Structure 1
Amino acid sequence: MRERTTVITAITTIEIMMALTGALTIAINAQWYNDPFRGRYKKQK
């Protein structure tokens, strides 16, 4: 029983970490879109 609980805890931890990473990525992307530097990148195209 103890081993099974450890596995479930590990999977839950990994899922939480992945969710946090996804949220961080979205936050960074949103910040990048609001970045004033984006205007320079657009002008170059």
Structure 2
Amino acid sequence: MVKLNISLRSTSVDEAIEKIASIKEAHPEDVLQIEVTILDDYLLSS
């Protein structure tokens, strides 16, 4: 198993979720777990 850490540039939480979902949809058999950390307080209020 390989652990991959991806950083996304997004303007909202919804946009970030859409980007993560597209990765999962493209490779459903390969994605075992997704962990999300929000680093910008601005995104929390969006």
User: Which TM-score tier does this pair reach, normalised by the shorter chain?
Assistant: 0.3 to 0.5
Q: What's the TM-score once normalised by structure 1's chain length?
A: 0.36
TM-score, with structure 2 as normaliser: 0.36
The higher-RCO structure (CA 8 Å, 6+ apart) is 2
Task: Select the structure that is richer in helix.
Answer: 1
